[in-house]
Amino acid sequence: MELRTLRYFMAVAEELHFGRAANRLHMSQPPLSRAIKQLEADVGALLFIRAPTGVTLTAVGTVLFEEARALLDHADRVRIRVSAAAGASTITVGILGDATDPGVFRLAAAFRRSHPGIDIRIRDADLTDPTCGLRAQLVDVALTRAPFDETALTVRALRTDPVGVVLRADDPLARQGRLRLAELSDRRWFQFPQGTDPVWQSYWNGGRPREGPVVRAVQECLQAVLWNGTIGLAPLGHDLPAEFALVPLTDMAPSRVVAVWNEGDTNPLIRSFVETATAAYGH
């Protein structure tokens, strides 16, 4: 069995759908299906029960899933150790968002335990680049929030958070238990600098053009609220000073925490980081 074929099998087993697995692997579905059929021929048994809505693992497939995961993890550890011996023992992580997120703490602890010899470099990004420098090759992988232009990038969703509006505590709307976007139509909103990803800008402006001050960092957003009564959106669950209120929005799509890396990058440290992040944020 080739490692590549086992990775194909793992993608289908995790997604339980050939189409989604093919998208994840950045390949078309027919060659993926052929690879799985050849693997079943090599094993001598069916690995999946196929249905129009997806697939389920057979008993043999379940055994192979457990063994393949262990084998691929071991293969990645071998590649990482060899890379470290060759001097390629650094991973640069871009982070955009709340550095006090419990998911970040769990991820940092788990990744340090599993990669004690790796130099982990952190690039703290501002709000103007949701990819944290990926396109400029400044980082290997990013922890950030979607949506943004995903062209030539691979994205793994880690968690979704509901979104609210940040207001000054003495704002009349701060006393509301919930709000709708239409209730904020006459207010000034945060803006990002010209050239910022338009998908990203549109999401944080509630899906329509707004007027307001240009900001680059979270602290600038809070100061704009404090001094000028500007409003903006933020994920719920963040602890804000008493001078601020974060009111849930009932008609705003949740914000997705994601891991993202450049499409086609085969650095084994990235795959290990993403798998560790998936487990850490899944708690």
Mean pLDDT, residues 171-198: 93
User: Residue 179 in contact with residue 124, Cβ under 8 Å?
Assistant: no
Indicate the CATH number for domain 163-253. Answer: 3.40.190.10
pLDDT of residue 162: 96
User: Where along the chain do the CATH 1.10.10.10 domains lie?
Assistant: 3-83
Q: Model's pTM, two decimal places?
A: 0.70
Distance CA(258)–CA(146), nearest Å, equals 7
Mean pLDDT, residues 2-31: 87
Asked if the model's pLDDT at residue 86 lies above 60, the reply is no
Least confident segment among 1-5, 105-109, 153-157: 1-5
pLDDT of residue 81: 65
Residues in the chain: 283
pLDDT of residue 233: 94
Mean pLDDT, residues 140-160: 95
Residues 6+ positions from 27 with CB-CB distance below 8 Å: none
What values do phi and psi take at 93, rounded to 5? -115, 125
Residues 6+ positions from 60 with CB-CB distance below 8 Å: 43, 45, 46, 47
Q: Which residue did the predictor score with more confidence, 268 or 162?
A: 162
pLDDT in tens, 42-83: 999 999 999 888 889 999 999 999 898 888 877 766 766 666
Least confident segment among 73-77, 112-116, 142-146, 185-189: 73-77
pLDDT of residue 171: 95
Residue 57 forms beta bridges with which residues?
Answer: 48
pLDDT of residue 23: 80
Torsion of CA 29, 30, 34, 35, to 10 degrees: -40
* Relative orientation angle of helices 29-43 and 3-15, to the nearest 10 degrees: 110
Q: What's the whole-number average pLDDT of the chain?
A: 89
pLDDT of residue 277: 95
pLDDT of residue 79: 67
What values do phi and psi take at 172, rounded to 5? -55, -35
User: Where along the chain do the CATH 3.40.190.10 domains lie?
Assistant: 89-157+257-281, 163-253
pLDDT of residue 71: 87
Distance CA(117)–CA(229), nearest Å, equals 48
Distance CA(116)–CA(120), nearest Å, equals 10
Q: Which residue did the predictor score with more confidence, 49 or 282?
A: 49
Mean pLDDT, residues 127-153: 92
Q: Over 3-31, what HEC string results?
A: HHHHHHHHHHHHHCCHHHHHHHHCCCHHH
Asked if the model's pLDDT at residue 133 lies above 80, the reply is yes
pLDDT of residue 80: 63
Residues 6+ positions from 20 with CB-CB distance below 8 Å: none
Strands 90-95 and 119-124: parallel
Mean pLDDT, residues 187-193: 92
Residues 6+ positions from 194 with CB-CB distance below 8 Å: none
pLDDT of residue 1: 75
User: Residue 16 in contact with residue 55, Cβ under 8 Å?
Assistant: yes
Distance CA(57)–CA(273), nearest Å, equals 26
CATH architecture of the domain with range 89-157+257-281 = 3-Layer(aba) Sandwich (3.40)
Nearest to 156 by CA among 192, 197, 196, 103: 103
Give, as one character, the DSSP assignment of residue 254.
P
CATH of 3-83, one of 3.40.190.10, 3.30.1360.10, 3.90.105.20, 1.10.10.10: 1.10.10.10
Share of the chain above pLDDT 90, in %: 58
pLDDT of residue 240: 85
pLDDT in tens, 19-28: 888 887 878 8
pLDDT of residue 87: 54
pLDDT of residue 62: 92
